[in-house]
Amino acid sequence: MRYRVLGGTGIEVSTYCLGTMMFGAVGNADHQDSVRIIHAALDQGINFVDTADMYSAGESEEIVGKALRDPHRRDETVLATKVYFPVGGEGPNRGGGSRRWITRAVENSLKRLGTEWIDLYQVHRPDHRTDVEETLDVLTDLVAQGKIRAFGCSTFPAEQIVEAHAVAERRGLRRFRSEQPPYSLLARGVESSVLPVAQRYGMGVLTWSPLASGFLTGKYRKGRDVDMTSGRAALQPQRFDPSLPLTQAKLDAVEEFAALAEEIGCTLPELAIAFVTAHPAVTSVILGPRTMEQLEGLLKGASLGLTDEVLDRIDEIVPPGTNVYPPDGAWRPAALTDPSLRRRPTGERAAAD
């Protein structure tokens, strides 16, 4: 296992980070089995574990807490979690980047994780309702209190990362030390601005969805029937419906990548993960196994390096900075998702007419 420094924090983390989204009700509901998988990853040299308060409504954090109950394991593990989405009920103030919510959420995460500190606390998505100064201010206080060691952002667009750094400098606040964007062979959009901006500000980068929601596992291939009644396909059919042009575009690219992987003597998932770790901005790539078998398969490619020739071939299949599909679960600006933010009130429109 290789290790890299996380931005300017001085913290060394493994180039593979164990993601735990699939531990809990949405994936592997067997707590003991999930703990075994976490221990196996740690025993293989992974020292970086990423979770979030909203994964299975807090259950993932509880599982991670059980796995790190031994003080030595906790001491040797760089533990990351996230805040933003509502957890534990409904209400107008149960989520976001406000001081009110973050102050409450961090205490809940510490309790579920069974720890006194979080190494990397990440804001899961931008919050257009909260001034970023408010968010940075409370996170700065949490560092001073010793509850978190560093903080970062997740799935932030480049312009909001720049704004956050400018506010931090102007107001004398601590700044985001990492960014967690979606990045894969099929989703390279972050190469155009997010990754260069992260490099410019000396931020660590831990990427999610390296297997493109399963399309780079080899399970979904052209000409094969897709079971739309189970698994991910049943939960989000729009991602996997073979009749959709977007799905066909993904499958076309997968065929070319599968052929390339076979040519260089590796599996498709190994190629996918090696590609992400090859980018100089990337510190660590998040692996999200549900089973021990999946973990073992992903770890087989830990030593794989890609030549310039192979990387050039990849660029020919999916050009740098382009997305074959919009990364699933990625952030979209409120100005696009909330019509009221781009339409004047009816009365004003009528008066203008």
**Predicted confidence band of residue 203 (pLDDT cuts 50, 70, 90):** very high
Inside any domain, residue 250: no
Best-predicted range by mean pLDDT (151-160, 221-230, 296-305): 151-160
244-284 pLDDT, tens digit each: 899 999 999 999 999 999 999 999 999 999 999 999 999 99
Paired tokens of 212: 């493109």
Q: Let me know if 325 is a catalytic residue.
A: no
| Residues whose CB is less than 8 angstroms from the CB of residue 56 and which lie 6 or more positions away in sequence, other chains included | 23, 24, 25, 26, 27
CATH number of the domain encompassing residue 211: 3.20.20.100
With beta carbons less than 8 A apart as the criterion, state whether 185 and 257 touch: yes
Number of domains present in the structure of the chain: 1
Paired tokens of 55: 């994964």
Q: What is the pLDDT of residue 117?
A: 98
Inside any domain, residue 257: no
Inside any domain, residue 237: no
Inside any domain, residue 346: no
Inside any domain, residue 285: yes
Q: What is the pLDDT of residue 219?
A: 87
Domain interval for residue 130: 3-222+268-325
**pLDDT at residue 229 greater than cutoff 80:** no
Inside any domain, residue 260: no
Inside any domain, residue 273: yes
**Predicted confidence band of residue 346 (pLDDT cuts 50, 70, 90):** confident
Residue among 3, 16, 55, 325 flagged as catalytic:
55
113-130 pLDDT, tens digit each: 999 999 999 999 999 999
Inside any domain, residue 343: no
